Amino acid sequence: MKKIITISTAVLLSINLLGQSLSGVESVEYDPINNRYLASSDNSSIVAIAPNGGLSYFGAGAVASYGMEIMNGILFAIHGSTIKGYDLVSENEVMSVNISGAQFLNGMGSNGTDKLWVSDFNGYDIYEINVNNLSAPTFSMVADQNDLGTTNKPNGIVYDGANNRILIVNWGSNAPIKAMDVSTYMVTTVVANTGVGNIDGIDTDGNENWYIASWSPARITKYNTDFSGSEIITVPGISSPADISYAPETDTLAIPGGDQILFVGFESTNVGIDEENFENHRVFYSSGYPIVQFELSTSQDARFDILDINGRVVYTALEGVQPLGKHSVVLSSIGLYSGAYLCRLTSKELSFTDRVIIP
């Protein structure tokens, strides 16, 4: 019998788009008004990336060194201990507020209407900024190291409107995901141990799925609505992923890191699966690219290779101990010629070889 399953798939749309022109990208945001991406860099300039990949500077003297957030037609950006606001159309500065006492402002999130939340990486603090009046914004510290703890440093922030809270990812080993109620400012732990270290960014796809970017290992982990389930998304070329941004308008996750931005497109694909012959893995295609999905019941040593028609390994996507759970390996932009290949997974629990076509 055939069973039709709707699977959320990931397709790498572009890799290292203009790597030679980007430098130390810390944060990226999708600008829906102008259909472009805006990126902060280590030289503090804001770079605009057009749909055709063209680069230009945003604004005259506009600066951003770390996290950014777009709300109500305004790009809010961290620069040192100051939060700047820039109109997306005129690109002129419309707000500036200095967060006195801050040590290292890093991540930023918003409620989409009038409030921003910013993490102080070295101060172990969370600040709330009311931007209802751009001419006179106000701020206050709403959580400190007594609330957040000192084991991990707060980094990326995203607003969870359904639960009236912000979610905070943290830097450090076995980094947790924490939450702060935006009415009571009470801090709780959502995931005590994510199994990864140095989480830099977090965002949502608008359907209450959550994506986090970690450095150790360098990867994206997708959580479901209540964080009861997760999926590891292996993206070729990912390195030091920073403040990620999901654009619901285009179902695309932008992953900044180093001198590049990776763009991963997500879409729903109906896949027919033969239940009698299902071998705990799926090979399917989205936008022409193959995606291989499998699941491990325990953490174990595993290797995932691409082989040519002569059986030679030409690309290794995974190697070493892999965590338990669902895995999706995106086989796009991996530097192989178009044609037929074999994909091979070998592990203690699961081994398979299947045919894939690289477009």
What's the per-residue H, E or C state across 59-128? CCCCECCCCEEEECCEEEEEECCEEEEEECCCCCEEEEEECCCCCCEEEEEECCCCEEEEEECCCCEEEE
From 268, 290, 309, give the residue that closes a domain.
Answer: 268
Q: Residue 273 above 90 pLDDT?
A: no
Q: What is the pLDDT of residue 197?
A: 95
Classify residue 36: in a domain, yes or no: yes
Mean of pLDDT values over 103-113: 97
pLDDT in tens, 181-192: 999 999 999 999
Which residue shows structure tokens 């206050």? 140
**Highest mean pLDDT, choosing among 14-18, 155-159, 230-234, 336-340:** 155-159
State whether residue 306 is helix, strand or coil: strand
Helix H segments across the chain?
A: 145-148
Classify residue 23: in a domain, yes or no: yes
- Preceding peptide of 248 cis, ω within 30°: no
Q: Do 82 and 169 have their domain in common?
A: yes
Q: Do 220 and 342 have their domain in common?
A: no
Q: What is the pLDDT of residue 52?
A: 78
Q: Do 247 and 285 have their domain in common?
A: no
Read off the tokens for 58.
């945003």
Q: Do 207 and 313 have their domain in common?
A: no
Q: Residue 234 above 50 pLDDT?
A: yes
pLDDT in tens, 214-228: 999 999 999 999 999
Q: Do 229 and 94 have their domain in common?
A: yes
Cα 344 to Cα 3, 61, 139, 329, 349, distances in angstroms:
25, 51, 54, 12, 14
**Highest mean pLDDT, choosing among 82-91, 245-254, 274-283, 305-314:** 82-91
Q: Do 125 and 42 have their domain in common?
A: yes
From 268, 291, 324, give the residue that closes a domain.
Answer: 268
Query: How many structural domains are present in the chain?
Result: 2
Which residues, 6+ apart, have CB-to-CB distance to 277 below 8 Å? none
Classify residue 137: in a domain, yes or no: yes
Classify residue 275: in a domain, yes or no: no
Classify residue 191: in a domain, yes or no: yes
Which residues, 6+ apart, have CB-to-CB distance to 32 below 8 Å? 70, 247, 249
Q: Do 73 and 209 have their domain in common?
A: yes
Q: Do 226 and 284 have their domain in common?
A: no
- Helix (H) or strand (E) segment spanning residue 235: none
Q: Do 116 and 174 have their domain in common?
A: yes
Q: Do 154 and 263 have their domain in common?
A: yes
Q: What is the pLDDT of residue 11?
A: 52
Cα 336 to Cα 58, 132, 340, 341, distances in angstroms:
35, 51, 10, 10
Q: What is the mean pLDDT of the chain?
A: 87
- Integer Cα distance of 105 and 272 in angstroms: 48
CATH number of the domain at 135, please.
Answer: 2.120.10.30
Q: Residue 91 above 70 pLDDT?
A: yes
Which residue shows structure tokens 């209540």? 226
- Helix (H) or strand (E) segment spanning residue 209: none
State whether residue 33 is helix, strand or coil: coil
Q: What is the pLDDT of residue 290?
A: 85
pLDDT in tens, 31-75: 999 999 999 987 889 999 988 788 889 998 899 999 999 999 999
Nearest Cα residue to 174 out of 143, 217, 203 = 217
- Any idea what the Cα angle at residue 236 is, between residues 234 and 238, rounded to 5°? 85
Backbone angles phi, psi at 349, to 5 degrees: -90, -40
From 238, 268, 298, give the residue that closes a domain.
Answer: 268
Q: In terms of DSSP bridges, do strands 197-204 and 187-191 run parallel, antiparallel, or are they unpaired?
A: unpaired
Identify the domain containing residue 200 by its residue range: 2-268
Q: Do 339 and 296 have their domain in common?
A: yes
Q: Do 223 and 351 have their domain in common?
A: no
CATH number of the domain at 324, please.
Answer: 2.60.40.3080
- Integer Cα distance of 201 and 220 in angstroms: 10
8 Å CB contact between 200 and 239: no
Q: Which residues of 301-315 are buried (b: 16+ CB within 10 A; e: fewer)?
A: ebbbbbbeeeeeeeb
Residue 270 pLDDT grade (very low, low, confident, very high; cuts 50, 70, 90): very low
pLDDT, greater one: 176 or 51: 176
Distance of CA 101 to the CA centre of its chain: 29
